[in-house]
């Protein structure tokens, strides 16, 4: 139900709750066996979770407060450490001591990362398992890259000389450049890589794969590191580099062009402790194996659909019915909205951006309609005429109704489509109304349908572009915050602390989310049949629109101050003076957004809101 202006006074407790981030939830989940083929199996039965793993197992509630599903936002390197490396290390420390981490990774890889199958086969016949995995009979064998002091001829490229070579226990030796090319071809498949000799089944360690790949590009890496180390050593130059280059890259990471305008409301990637310190987390073969494993469990894992984003989300707790099909229901309680570590928010089912209050089915129809050429055909039908003689399509571009077909040179009247020669003073009758029993052309209906579609699409598009403008403005404000805080480190007098400025992040998140919800309400109402409850929903839509524009205007005013060459300190002081208003509007947006989604869900569930089929 729409609420009155009394809701302007939002309780302080509600204000705080509206700003709680999902990451604050400290519920820990256990490993669950994947039901999909090719996915990792339960490893908690064999080894207990270490403190590092425990930090990787936090789950979050869905961003849709009506949905009870929970999820984990993941990066590939987190998944590698959690599902590949840590189980191997625990096996080496407890169940199968004496084997190196390299050998255990090869065994786990061969067994599709199933700890249970590996331990069963190892204790049944370890020699047979080693042979099938392609491991040497010698335990913990090491295969270094060697430099030949004398001439060596590679049997692949036929190059000779003191070449860097690599060979396994099988003795098949090849030059490192050939091995590097070989690995570049096969590493993307995510499977164990065998010796280059076709008849040999010996496997390469994952660490050796990375060494050979890095050895092939070591010169290029050194050049890049040399360039990066050649920057000025003065503190002023370093500060300038931080302010210009770092923030330019930072803004590019915030303001991206991708499907349906995802937003980076957190202004930072989510991080986990020690997530980038282990070289194995960046191993090329393990990354490819992780992607292969994730693609084999698509009902549980979904890649983030944002462009150039390599993160994914795990639906760790699905409270919906087992036979649930998101294409056959419109209830919003079953829409799991999730957020990847880079803060891209999307629907886990249909993988569009957060489209609440639209159900997945309506969202798909709207996107298809916007991309389809059917609207172009409707416009042509509503705004053009066919020549009565040759049927060529003609658009009227002037005020005169005397038309000349450029194709057949036929002259006719645009109004009645008759021969213009009949329009003499005594036979001019096309202005007279002639009652028709039916509209055979359907032009009026098509004009009305096109006008209705353009009405909702224009508003959808306006808010879509406004969201981009808000992101740019707010990214600049966030930049001013960081520059100001950096300048405070060199100033003994500190006017604003970092904690005092944190309300800005809450406001940023609230504004972007409110704008996005408002945008999708127009796609929602386009498919609704007119009713009293529909009027109520549109009234709540107006309330949200008013609040979003009020908060957006505050940030626009700050952007105008920056154009007047105001310093970061003055901008921050202007923002802190408006803190109470910003916090109030942010809480009000969050509240009205939730009420709007609840109103839509209530109307759908009790039949007050009915979607109509629009062709």
Tokens standing for residue 236: 């002023």
Note whether 231 and 472 are within 8 A (CB): no
Residue ranges of the chain with pLDDT lower than 50?
1-56, 217-268, 273, 436
pLDDT of 587:
93
pLDDT of 615:
66
pLDDT of 264:
40
Strand order through the sheet with 301-303: 60-61, 70-74, 312-317, 301-303
Note whether 501 and 485 are within 8 A (CB): yes
Tokens standing for residue 171: 């003795």
Which residues are bridge partners to 153 per DSSP? 160
Q: Which residues are catalytic?
A: 400
Cα–Cα nearest to 599, from 526, 541, 542:
541
Torsion sign across C-alpha atoms 231, 237, 242, 243: negative
Torsion sign across C-alpha atoms 467, 469, 474, 479: positive
SS3 614: coil
Torsion sign across C-alpha atoms 582, 586, 587, 591: positive
**Residue 523 gets which letter from DSSP?**
H
CA–CA separation, 133 vs 99, rounded Å? 14
- Cα 423 vs. chain centroid, distance in angstroms? 62
CA–CA separation, 417 vs 529, rounded Å? 36
CA–CA separation, 582 vs 571, rounded Å? 14
pLDDT of 577:
79
Cite the DSSP H helix spans in 244-401.
Answer: 247-254, 284-295, 360-371, 374-383
CA–CA separation, 154 vs 598, rounded Å? 70
């Amino acid at each position: 139900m729409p609420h009155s202006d009394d809701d302007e006074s939002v309780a302080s407790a509600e204000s705080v709750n509206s700003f709680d981030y999902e990451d604050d939830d400290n519920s820990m989940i256990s490993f669950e066996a994947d039901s999909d083929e090719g996915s990792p199996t339960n490893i908690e039965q064999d080894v207990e979770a270490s403190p590092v793993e425990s930090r990787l197992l936090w789950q979050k509630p869905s961003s849709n407060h009506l949905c009870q599903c929970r999820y984990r936002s993941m990066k590939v390197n987190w998944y590698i450490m959690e599902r590949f490396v840590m189980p191997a290390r625990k096996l080496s420390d407890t169940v199968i001591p004496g084997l190196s981490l390299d050998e255990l990774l090869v065994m786990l890889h061969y067994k599709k990362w199933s700890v249970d199958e590996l331990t069963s086969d190892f204790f049944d016949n370890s020699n047979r398992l080693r042979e099938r995995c392609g491991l040497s009979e010698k335990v913990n064998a090491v295969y270094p890259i060697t430099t030949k002091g004398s001439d060596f001829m590679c049997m692949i490229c036929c190059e000779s000389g003191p070449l860097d070579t690599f060979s396994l226990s099988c003795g098949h030796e090849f030059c490192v450049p050939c091995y590097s090319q070989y690995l570049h071809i096969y590493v993307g498949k995510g499977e164990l890589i065998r010796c280059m000799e076709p008849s040999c089944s010996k496997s390469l360690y994952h660490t050796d794969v990375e060494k050979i790949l890095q050895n092939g590009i070591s010169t290029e890496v050194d050049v890049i590191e040399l360039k990066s180390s050649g920057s000025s050593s003065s503190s002023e130059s370093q500060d300038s580099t931080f302010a210009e280059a770092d923030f330019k890259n930072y803004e590019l990471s915030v303001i991206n062009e991708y499907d349906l305008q995802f937003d980076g409301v957190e202004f930072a990637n989510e991080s986990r402790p020690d997530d980038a310190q282990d070289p194995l987390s960046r191993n090329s073969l393990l990354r490819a194996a992780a992607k292969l494993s994730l693609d084999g469990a698509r009902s549980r894992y979904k890649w983030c659909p944002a462009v150039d984003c390599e993160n994914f989300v795990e639906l760790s707790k699905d409270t919906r019915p087992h036979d649930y099909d998101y294409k056959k229901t419109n209830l919003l309680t079953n829409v799991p909205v999730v957020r990847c570590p880079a803060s891209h928010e999307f629907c886990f089912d249909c993988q569009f951006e957060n489209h609440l209050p639209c159900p997945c089915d309506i969202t798909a129809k709207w996107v298809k309609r916007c991309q389809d050429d059917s609207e172009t055909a409707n416009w042509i039908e509503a705004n053009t005429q066919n020549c009565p003689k040759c049927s060529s399509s003609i658009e009227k571009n002037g005020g005169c109704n005397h038309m000349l077909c450029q194709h057949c040179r036929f002259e006719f009247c645009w109004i009645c489509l008759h021969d213009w020669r009949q329009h003499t003073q005594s036979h001019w009758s096309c202005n007279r109304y002639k009652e028709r029993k039916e509209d055979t052309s359907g032009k009026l209906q098509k004009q009305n349908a096109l006008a209705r579609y353009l009405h909702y699409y224009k508003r959808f598009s306006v808010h879509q572009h406004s969201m981009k403008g808000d992101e740019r403005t707010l990214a600049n404000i966030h930049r001013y915050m960081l520059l100001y805080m950096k300048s405070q480190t060199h100033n003994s007098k500190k006017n604003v602390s970092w904690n005092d400025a944190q309300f800005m992040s809450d406001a940023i998140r609230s504004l972007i989310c409110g704008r996005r919800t408002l945008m999708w309400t127009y796609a929602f109402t386009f498919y609704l049949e007119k009713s009293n409850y529909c009027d109520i929903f549109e009234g709540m839509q107006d309330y949200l629109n008013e609040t979003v524009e009020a908060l957006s205007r505050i940030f626009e005013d700050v952007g105008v101050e920056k154009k007047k060459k105001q310093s970061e300190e003055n901008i921050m002081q202007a923002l802190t003076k408006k803190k109470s208003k910003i916090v109030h509007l942010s809480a009000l947006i969050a509240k009205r957004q939730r009420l709007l989604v609840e109103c839509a869900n209530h109307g759908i569930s009790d039949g007050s809101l009915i979607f109509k089929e629009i062709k």
